Chain A
Amino acid sequence: MILVQQPLVRMENIHKSFPGVKALDNGQLELRAGEVHALVGENGAGKSTLMKILTGIYIPDAGKIYYKGNEVQLTSPRSALDLGISIIHQEFNLVPHLTVAQNIFIGREPRKHRFMLDERKINLQTQELLDTLNIDLDPKAKVMDLAVAAQQMVEIAKAVSYNSEVLVMDEPTAALADNEIEQLFAIIRRLKSKGVGIIYISHRLEELKQISDRISVLRDGAYIDTVETKETDVSKIISMMVGRELYEDFSDEPVQVSGEVVLEVRNMTRKDGRTKDVSFTLHKGEILGFAGLLGAGRTEVARALFGADVLASGEIYLRGERVNISSPADAARFGIGYLSEDRRHLGLALGLDVTSNVGITNYDDFKSRLGWVKSKELKGSVSSLVDVLNIKTPSIDQRVANLSGGNQQKTVIAKWLLRDCDILIFDEPTRGIDVGAKHEIYKLLNDLAAEGKSIIMISSDLPEVLRMSHRVIVMCEGRITGELSRKEASQETIMSYATAH
């Protein structure tokens, strides 16, 4: 008997260009039945493009795709689904106004009398599906009412329900808590044992050790190599992904933080009750980490401090003086900048160019008496910030939508630096950003702090919190449950406070 297994999917020499960008230049992938094949690479390496080609969303310029040994043409999402290839998208592709069950069965609803929907059957089959996957959700709940993690579970259930032989998961754990990740892994293992081939994209390299069998690396649109997970380690993978030296900062020397209190928050309670009695101080030149589980109220503290949401009670002092911040415009005037966790929706106007995005907080400084924008001066300032922050963009007239995640994040930073803010709130500064850009952001945070800016950094990435913070505040269910010095902080101590109800 010949033991050479026919691969489930083989993609060869895939090329794909978009106007001005070569997204894929010799993309390759081989997926076997019953394996979890991790696909890694920096943002912009071409992972998502390769997967969109495999699922019929994009049509390649050149290259061949074989499914079970036969060459196939994938011209639409439908054609891929019909072959048995489905995908869990990174950005949720659910219909918010429909229910869980309606979302799962969209496009293939059970019908009565040809045109009529069989709603009972849709709900029943969804309940069965959710039961087999061990997911605790109501099929009749509207997706718009679900938390992000629950929406992710709906996405997973939907993809699984196609009974596909190939399942692509693009960053499936980005929104999940640890126990939910365990649940997802259990689902993956079950599918694997049934012979399903799974392509697993993730930035969390530690995770790949646990779940994947092989790892393929893409860089700058090109295929680099495929390795057995067992025979490799994280640092090897990173060097294949990055192909360059990383900024490292393992300085354990005590950081010089001045005693000057820049900001003090006393007894902050939001009107909606999502923060309760929150008090803390922030020093000049300090990076204050905010840790906690999803929904602990960290973003809510930031938004209330920034004047974006309403407080029921509490006081805010800036350099000892009591201030009243009732809108983001107030906050910006006091020199507080907020970099939202959802930069694509809340931090940037994607359709506009770099100059407009950076300038938006600062037009007061760049307008003549009659209200004309002094565009030459604005562009000069923006250009110098682009240089300082090392934002990779062909020009400052480039639309922000065309930049990579890391460079978009830097554009948001530039916006607040131009404003000359000295208190910066970073909400998940590196979410969805690749390893290389992550390190640049870290360096930037350190540089800003060294210059005397004060930084609040909200992060769900514990290694990041530990590495960057001078002090860590831990929240749980709207309250501060712990405050740790850099020395006291460890994954264990943070987690114990984060779960201290």
Chain B
Amino acid sequence: MSTELTKRRESLMKAESRQKLLAFSSLLVMIIIFSLASPNFATFSNFVGILLSTAVVGILATGVTFIIITGGIDLSIGTVMTFCSVIAGVMITFWGLPVWVGVIGAVLSGMMAGLINGLLISKLRLPAFIATLGMQMIAAGLNLVISGSRPIYFLHEPRFRLIAMGTLFGIPYSVFLFFGLAIVASIVLGRTVFGRYTYSIGSNEEATRLSGINVDRWKIGVYVLGGFFYGVAGVVMASRLNSAQPALGVGYELEAIAAVVIGGASLSGGSGTILGTIIGAFIMSVLTNGLRILSIPQEWQTVVIGSIVILAVYTDIIRRRKD
């Protein structure tokens, strides 16, 4: 029995690394094709642009990866992110508080939204889809109410803009922040008890509960962690635009979820990695960037990205069927 077992395991491991390889190599192929197609693609400044534009979605996607691995979903990502930008704007511009206080306030409000999501889902047993859809709309409304439906500019605080746009070796800080957070998230997911229970809840929640684990508490933790990432993304976003744009937000949740799914996570839970999510986020931003450089109209860019999501998930299904 055990030899047969090991064989199956080997083939499975091969399949798993094959998938990562597939995603990564399609990213490389894309980069090569765009480089050949346009001299404007493979330039330092364009690469920096890609990195910068991946940072926000990448941070959001990293946060929601945990949630998706537990078998949950979060539709409030985009508007909660904006909510955090608005809070930063209120604290820094309206109240004149120091930048660091505004940043902490923004991140804490993201975590607070996550906490509410988590409580609704675990304690009141609302489906995650519904709870976070509600949160999406609540946050969207609050953004307009709090800001008076007008953008809040950070004109008095030039240092705020440095968070995203200040550079080291020509690379913006926000890119370092993104990679730093991704590495930490990867360790948390792969090596800690928190990560283990994230997978375990997504794979079989009941079994996890019966093993004596307080599933509710860990689930809430996962949503709070997600909120932390949305808060950071909100700060980066506001800093990049040098303003909190209250009408922004809807649409980001789907981009973030798409990145996670392209990266190989299953919406039914139990599988997914941070590395996969990052590759997924880059596939989307490289594609958007490349198509724009090739002067393909923006409307068509969305069509292409939608097709890529379907294609990515379909190849994953085929791969699983073969095993």
Contacts and interface: CB of A to CB of B under 8 A. Distances in A.
B38 interface: no
Contact of A107 (B6, B211, B271): B211
A138 B9 contact: yes
A140 B1 CA distance: 15
Interface string A81-113: 100000001001111111000100011110100
Contacts of A115: 192-194
Contacts of B123: none
A98 B204 CA distance: 10
Contacts of A138: 2, 5-6, 9
B134 to A, nearest CB: 24
B8 A77 contact: no
Contacts of B1: 136, 147, 150
A77 B209 contact: yes
Nearest to B9: A141
Closest 4 pairs between A and B when the two form their complex, measured CB to CB? A78-B212, A97-B203, A93-B207, A97-B270
A137 interface: yes
B193 A109 contact: yes
B12 interface: yes
Contacts of A96: 203-204, 270
23 contacts: A76-B212, A78-B212, A94-B204, A95-B203, A96-B270, A97-B270, A98-B199, A102-B196, A102-B200, A106-B211, A107-B208, A107-B212, A109-B193, A115-B194, A117-B191, A117-B193, A117-B196, A136-B1, A136-B2, A137-B2, A145-B5, A147-B1, A150-B1
B206 interface: yes
Contacts of A57: 210
Interface string A115-132: 111010000000000000
B304 interface: no
Interface of B: 1-2, 5-6, 8-9, 12, 191-196, 199-200, 202-204, 206-214, 270-271
A142 interface: yes
Given A136-B1, A138-B2, A145-B5, A97 B199 contact: yes
A95 B207 contact: yes
A133 interface: no
B200 A98 contact: yes
Contacts of B192: 115-117
Interface in A145-191: 145-147, 150
A131 to B, nearest CB: 13
B206 A106 contact: no
Contacts of A109: 193, 196
A136 B4 CA distance: 12
A111 B212 CA distance: 17
Contacts of A92: 207
Interface residues of A, number: 33
A107 B196 CA distance: 9
A98 B208 CA distance: 11
B212 A81 contact: yes
B193 A142 contact: no
A5 B200 CA distance: 42
Interface in A52-97: 57, 76-78, 81, 89, 92-97
A82 to B, nearest CB: 8
A93 B208 CA distance: 8
A97 B16 CA distance: 13
Contacts of A102: 196, 200
A106 B196 CA distance: 8
Contacts of A136: 1-2
A270 to B, nearest CB: 15
Nearest to B200: A95
Given A77-B210, A145-B12, A95 B5 contact: no
Contacts of A146: 5
A109 B228 CA distance: 26
B40 to A, nearest CB: 43
Contacts of B6: 138, 141
Given A96-B204, A109-B193, 6 more contacts: A77-B209, A95-B208, A106-B196, A116-B192, A138-B2, A141-B9
Contacts of B210: 57, 77, 89, 93
Contacts of A142: 9, 12
A136 B194 CA distance: 30
Nearest to A149: B1
B70 to A, nearest CB: 12
A116 B188 CA distance: 8
A108 B196 CA distance: 11
A98 B203 contact: yes
A106 B12 CA distance: 23
A89 B204 CA distance: 14
Contacts of B194: 115
A49 to B, nearest CB: 15
Nearest to B323: A145
A107 B214 CA distance: 9
Nearest to A86: B212
A98 B197 CA distance: 10
A95 B211 CA distance: 10
A94 B207 contact: yes
B135 to A, nearest CB: 27
Contacts of B206: 93
B200 A106 contact: yes
Contacts of A89: 210
Among B5, B194, B213, the most chain A Cβ lie within 10 Å of the Cβ of: B5
A150 B4 CA distance: 12
